[in-house]
Amino acid sequence: MKSKLCFGMAIFICIMSAVIITHRVEHKASQPSGAQPVEASWKKYKNIEELVLAENEQARKAGDSSQTAADKMPDYTKMFPDLYTEYVMPKAVDKEKKIAYLTFDDGPSDNTYRVLDILQEYDATATFFLIGSEIDRKHEGCLIRMANEGHTIGIHTYSHVCNEIYCSIERYLDDFNLVYDRIYDVTGKRVNIYRFPWGSNNRYSKNIKDALIEEMERRGFTCYDWTVDSKDSNGKPSAYTILRNIKKDIKRQNQPIILLHDSGANGLMVRLLPDIIKMLRQMGYEFDTLDHREPYQFPW
């Protein structure tokens, strides 16, 4: 009797060992080769941009996605029934033609009036991504000039506060609708392009990014990032670093989208703008607005 009990226990132990080993093998096989939690090794990344890239890559490998299935139509699609526009894809531009797209974020401000004066003086056009909370009576004239002088207006949200605009798709739409209506009230024009604060790939929006872009496209809005970063709002820029950053990033780009800022804190950029325009013209570039260029979003 005792030998039968021992034999039974031995068989049970063998079976349980096989189950555990099989589970471990299957779990290991389901993980990306060499993958480790990004959070556990964040110190090896030089900056937030590298960390975001790593996080998104890990999510892709794991098969995670926030993309909204077309047949489920969540409640936020019923919000703001007038928040719709129409985007017409521009005709393809000759890839060999050199066109620079100057874009200004974070206005309007007193500096925006100066930017508009300079653009008029040098016969150049640009695209302005506006913050709705900055469109007060003092700066309404900026929008009217933009509309009348051949520039393009885009939306850069109303508040530009990450914890408010990126906590959910509903909150983003609520913020976006405020500035959309404000621009229409001042100019009588329906805006159809926008730029996310901190770009389309940022650590704040990564949990809702895919579904949010899908919803904005469904409503007719198109997102534009940038291909050249002047870094005129990073730290303590100098005239040298701003010009150097533009020269460095513009290499081998025939149709660069150049990120600049026209907030009240960007007086240095305004003083440099004539030099930037002259430098680009000497390099063979013309100027145009983003609604004449195919959309661009960060490829990561």
pLDDT at 73: 67
SS3 (DSSP) at 13:
helix
Mean pLDDT of the chain: 84
Poorest-confidence range of 84-93, 146-155, 252-261, 262-271? Answer: 84-93
Q: Work out the average pLDDT over 271-278.
A: 98
Provide the pLDDT for residue 191.
Answer: 96
CB-count burial class (<10 Å; 0-12, 13-18, 19+) for 87: middle
Task: Report pLDDT for 25.
Answer: 40
Q: Where are the domains of the chain?
A: 2-62, 85-292
54 pLDDT more than 70: no
Find the range with the poorest average confidence among 13-27, 100-114, 132-146, 232-246. Answer: 13-27
Domain 85-292, CATH number (from 3.60.20.10, 1.10.3720.10, 3.20.20.370, 1.10.10.60): 3.20.20.370
Residue with tokens 């001042």: 186
pTM over 0.75: yes
pLDDT in tens, 127-144: 999 999 999 999 999 999
Q: Say how many residues make up the chain.
A: 300
pLDDT at 147 exceeding the cut of 90:
yes
Q: Is the pLDDT of residue 163 over 90?
A: no
Catalytic: 94? Answer: no
Question: In the annotation, is 139 catalytic?
Answer: no
Can you tell me the distance from the alpha carbon of 13 to that of 18, in angstroms, rounded to the nearest whole number? 9
Residue 4 has pLDDT above 50, yes or no: no
Catalytic residue from among 156, 232, 261, 262: 261
Per-residue pLDDT of 11-40, as tens digits, reads 444 544 444 444 444 443 444 434 344 444
ω into 108 cis (within 30 of 0): yes
Above pLDDT 70, what percent of the chain?
76
